Amino acid sequence: MNLKYLKFSLVFFGFVPLAFVLSLLAFYFHAGIVLGHLPQYDFPDPKELSIYSNYALLINFFGVWSYSFVIWLFVVIISATKKIHGKFVIFGLLAYSSAILIIFSEVMNWYMD
């Protein structure tokens, strides 16, 4: 595999979980602005908000980050044999870590309500 494609793959698959995290957080804080307070579990149900349809497609689309992790991991293993800078791998690790952390947060608990 070409070095240029490896770098591109590492960065591209590193952005997938960030897109998920950012779209979910944008919805959460936008809901907080609309409500006048940050939403909590079952207060209100996210589907009851008029802005839900604006965000749901993005959040659900980028929910594939868990599948992209397998591809990203495969690319990391391949790139270990090449001379790839660690910053691309660290970027991906931080991105996937943030997605995993948000899965166990109050934000996801509220969204999955």
pLDDT surpassing 70 at residue 1: no
What is the tally of structural domains in the chain?
1
- Amino acid in position 52: Y
Phi, psi for residue 40 in degrees, rounded to 5: -130, 170
pLDDT for 43 equals 87
Contact indicator for 76, 6 with CB cutoff of 8 Å: no
Among 86, 96, 113, smallest CA distance to 31 is for: 113
Distance between CA atoms of residues 68 and 47, nearest Å: 27
Q: pTM for the complete prediction?
A: 0.88
Which residue range is the domain that position 42 belongs to?
Answer: 3-111
Distance between CA atoms of residues 29 and 98, nearest Å: 17
